[in-house]
Structure 1
């Protein structure tokens, strides 16, 4: 295998049939899908500019345009969803999920678009470019956030991108709303995990009520300010929420998932101007991880 070859024959065979055949109905058929996909993976893994793609990958414009198209038309998400369905059918998804986010610096190449037009991100339509482009100003400067909902072994189930200064708690119901894993054959998709592990940023009455109403165990510690407020209210403050300290130790898998994602330098630092393109790369990274798990022996 050459240095630029990034997909095994077995991995490519699993997703080849899921790739679109043509750009549009009646349009010219796509060619060299594997070479283009490997070019996209190589670019984000190294963080190199598109124009610096090795010649063996073909024209850099082809790789960029196809990645832009597949990010916006839902191709990457459909492949990700198919792999999740296959993994669930094989019993390779652990439904004790964890949630968190990571802040990544936005390079100056990603921040030279005017943001006066349009509003904040619309997380119902993941394939439309938001007015803020998923870039915001936080303590470290212009930055962007990747939000993950991962399974019990740390592989992403849901991936969202937002501005760096956005809070984690408001994104939680959005992440849960996008959790849909189709079951092999007939039946409704699975949308309810067994439990959710989150840090203190997700400790809110709304989140706990949401999980309780759906019969999902909340493994979320209570921050000191909430503990003090509850105690000051006396009997009206209610009982402290249940918290399984031993189970909470499993939350570190979401931190490790971000460590894995940041092995791709094009994700650790955002160079993409468009949020939909940057998120597409994060979904593609998740695809490569699920391909590896599906290749595991039982």
Structure 2
């Protein structure tokens, strides 16, 4: 982590221990990875009214956008609405959750490669939802 290089978290750049870095098609987060990730997600607040989306669904929605390069409008409905998934992504960015997740994944032996995740750092994934 030398220089000014930004490292950005995305499903496409994660490889479990023992697997070589390379292109990965999108797949939902597995239980082992979820154990690491969920510690860094915002706590669920008590809520009246419509039930909140499952954080794992929302996180998978964010990973879907980051790994496929699609727009927020193309997020599959099973992960939540485009605005809900996008808002969740922005909350994770503001909380510094991606950096904390990244460091824990490195400690756990995951490998990363530079890739399309740079789009997040350039602001493309933080553009307003249309």
TM-score class, shorter: 0.5 to 0.7
1:79 — aligned with what? 101
Contact 2:61–2:85, Cα closer than 8 Å, also in 1: yes
Query: 2-side partners of 1:69 and 1:42: how far apart?
Result: 17
Contact conserved, 1:72 with 1:276, CA < 8 A, in 2? no
Q: Is the CA contact 2:41–2:92 (under 8 Å) kept in the aligned structure 1?
A: no
Aligned length: 99
Q: Which runs of 5+ in 2 are unaligned?
A: 1-24
1:34-73 aligned within 5 A: 34-73=56-95
Cα RMSD for the two superposed structures: 3.3
Q: Which has the higher contact order (CA 8 A, sep 6+)?
A: 2
More strand by share: 1
Q: Map of 1:167-246 to 2, 5 A cutoff? A: none
Structure 2 partner of 1:17: 39
Equivalent positions of 1:84-233 (< 5 A) are 84-87=106-109, 155=111
The runs of 5 or more residues in structure 1 that have no matched partner are 93-154, 157-256, 279-298
**Conserved in 2, the CA contact under 8 Å of 1:43 and 1:50?**
yes
Q: What's the offset of the Cα at 1:4?
A: 6.3
- Of Structure 1 and Structure 2, the greater helix share is in 2
Distance 1:276 1:46 in 2: 12
Report if aligned partners of 1:6, 1:38 keep a CA contact under 8 Å in 2: yes
TM-score (norm 2): 0.58
Structure 2: distance between partners of 1:36 and 1:68: 12
Structure 1 counterpart SS, 2:57: helix
Task: Please tell me whether the aligned partners of residues 71 and 277 of structure 1 are also in contact (alpha carbons under 8 angstroms).
Answer: no
